C-alpha cells in the first residue's frame, strides 16, 4: 500500500510540474521566425510597478519569454523604475535613461498622477483636467525622445486600483480611465512608430492579480504584465524588423486547402507561384502589393492532383522556395 502511495505521489508531482511549465510557456509570434537582429534589447521605464514591489517584478518573466521564443538571440531587459514618481518626474530623467540604448523602451507611468489628484485632498475639476493633460503631454514627450534615439516606444496603459469601496480611489480610477484614453489616442497619433501594451485591459479589477495594497501586481499579475509587454513588442517586431521570409505551409501534407505565410521588411509586390515537381506552373497563389509585416494566404487545392509541389516567392529580385505535399 505504501509503495502505491509513493507512485501516486510522484505521478501527482510530475503532472502538477508539467501543467505549471506549460502554463508559463508563451505563445511564440511569427516574428521569432524572421527576426533579423542578433539581440533584443528592452528598456523598462516608469514608477513602482516597473521598479518592482514586494519582491515581484515582470522583467525576469519578460526576458524568459523572449529567450524561449527567440533561441540564440541575446536578450537584455533593463529596469529604470523609480517608485512614487509622476509622469513629470519621469520625463525629467527620461532622456538620460534612454541615452545610448537600442531596441525597445516600455513606458508605464500615470498611477501617481491620478493618486495625487485625490490625496491628501480632492482636486478641483480644473486641476484634474490640467494634470491629466500634462500626463499626456509628458508621455508624448517621451515618445518623441524615444524616436529621436531610434528606439521603439511601447506605451502601457495604467492599471486600475482596487478601491474596496474607497471613494477617493474610485475617483482616482476615473482619472486613470481618462489618462489611458489619452495614451491610446497618442499611440494612434504615432501609428507605426509607437505601440500599445494594454495592461489595464489585462488586469482590470481582478483582485487576484494584485498585492494587498490594491495598486501593485502580485507575482501572477506581473506574469500577466510580461505577456502584455511581450505581445506588444512582438507586434512592433512584425511591423518593423522582420527579414523577408517565406513560411512553410500548414497543414502539410494538405488535402483541400492550406495556408502560406510570408514576411516583408518593407512594402513590395509579392508573386508566389506553385509548380509541379517537373517545374510546370500549376497555380498563382498571389501577385499583389503588400505592406511590411507578416501575411497569410489561404489557398484551395481541390483542383490539384495528389503529389509534391514547389511554391516560389518572387520579390525584389529574390526567390524563396518551399515544398508542399497534396494528398487525398
Final residue belonging to a domain, choices 197, 224, 240? 240
In terms of domains, do 314 and 174 share one?
no
In terms of domains, do 72 and 205 share one?
yes
pLDDT digits (tens, 9 = 90+) for 7-34: 333 333 333 333 333 346 788 876 787 7
In terms of domains, do 56 and 143 share one?
yes
Final residue belonging to a domain, choices 240, 257, 281? 240
DSSP 8-state assignment for residue 67: H
295 within a domain of the structure (yes/no): yes
| Residue 44: strand pairing partners | 79, 106
Mean pLDDT of 142-167: 97
Mean pLDDT of 295-303: 95
Strands of the chain, DSSP E = 39-46, 74-81, 104-108, 152-156, 195-197, 245-246, 257-264, 268-276, 281-290, 293-300, 307-315, 318-326
Provide the CATH number for the domain around residue 303.
2.60.40.2550
Final residue belonging to a domain, choices 240, 274, 309? 240
In terms of domains, do 194 and 207 share one?
yes
pLDDT of 240 strictly over 90: no
Residue 291 has what pLDDT?
87
pLDDT digits (tens, 9 = 90+) for 126-147: 999 999 999 999 999 999 999 9
Residue-number span of the structural domain to which 36 is assigned: 26-240
Domain count, the chain: 2
- Enter the pTM of the model: 0.75
In terms of domains, do 272 and 203 share one?
no
Residue 24 has what pLDDT?
62
**Average pLDDT score, the chain:** 90
What is the distance in angstroms between the CA of the first residue and the CA of the last residue of the chain?
A: 53
CB atoms within 10 A of CB 300: 10
Q: Which three cell numbers stand for residue 265?
A: 521588411
Amino acid at each position: 500500500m505504501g509503495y502505491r502511495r509513493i507512485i501516486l505521489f510522484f505521478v501527482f508531482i510530475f503532472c502538477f510540474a508539467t501543467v505549471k511549465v506549460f502554463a508559463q510557456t508563451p505563445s511564440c509570434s511569427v516574428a521569432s521566425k524572421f527576426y533579423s537582429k542578433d539581440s533584443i534589447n528592452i528598456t523598462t521605464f516608469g514608477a513602482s510597478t516597473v521598479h518592482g514591489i514586494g519582491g515581484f517584478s515582470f522583467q525576469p518573466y519578460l526576458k524568459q519569454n523572449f529567450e524561449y521564443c527567440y533561441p540564440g538571440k541575446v536578450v537584455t531587459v533593463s529596469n529604470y523604475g523609480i517608485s512614487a514618481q509622476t509622469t513629470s518626474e519621469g520625463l525629467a530623467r527620461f532622456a538620460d535613461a534612454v541615452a545610448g540604448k537600442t531596441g525597445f523602451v516600455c513606458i508605464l507611468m500615470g498611477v501617481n498622477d491620478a493618486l495625487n489628484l485625490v490625496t491628501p485632498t480632492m482636486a478641483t475639476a480644473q486641476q484634474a483636467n490640467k494634470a491629466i493633460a500634462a500626463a499626456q503631454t509628458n508621455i508624448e514627450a517621451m515618445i518623441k525622445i524615444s524616436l529621436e534615439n531610434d528606439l521603439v516606444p511601447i506605451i502601457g496603459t495604467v492599471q486600475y486600483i482596487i478601491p474596496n469601496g474607497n471613494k477617493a480611489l474610485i475617483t482616482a480610477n476615473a482619472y486613470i480611465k481618462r489618462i489611458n484614453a489619452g495614451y491610446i489616442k497618442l499611440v494612434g497619433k504615432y501609428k507605426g512608430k509607437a505601440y500599445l501594451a494594454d495592461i489595464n485591459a489585462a488586469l482590470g479589477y481582478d483582485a487576484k492579480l494584485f498585492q494587498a495594497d490594491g495598486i501593485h501586481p502580485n507575482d501572477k499579475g506581473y506574469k500577466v504584465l510580461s505577456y502584455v509587454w511581450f505581445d506588444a513588442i512582438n507586434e512592433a517586431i512584425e511591423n518593423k524588423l522582420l527579414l523577408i521570409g517565406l513560411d512553410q505551409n500548414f497543414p502539410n501534407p494538405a488535402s483541400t486547402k492550406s495556408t502560406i505565410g510570408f514576411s516583408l521588411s518593407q512594402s513590395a509586390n509579392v508573386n508566389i507561384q506553385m509548380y509541379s515537381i517537373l517545374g510546370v506552373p500549376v497555380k498563382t497563389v498571389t501577385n499583389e502589393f503588400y505592406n511590411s509585416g507578416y501575411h497569410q494566404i489561404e489557398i484551395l487545392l481541390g483542383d490539384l492532383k495528389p503529389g509534391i509541389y514547389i511554391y516560389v516567392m518572387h520579390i525584389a529580385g529574390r526567390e524563396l522556395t518551399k515544398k508542399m505535399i497534396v494528398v487525398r
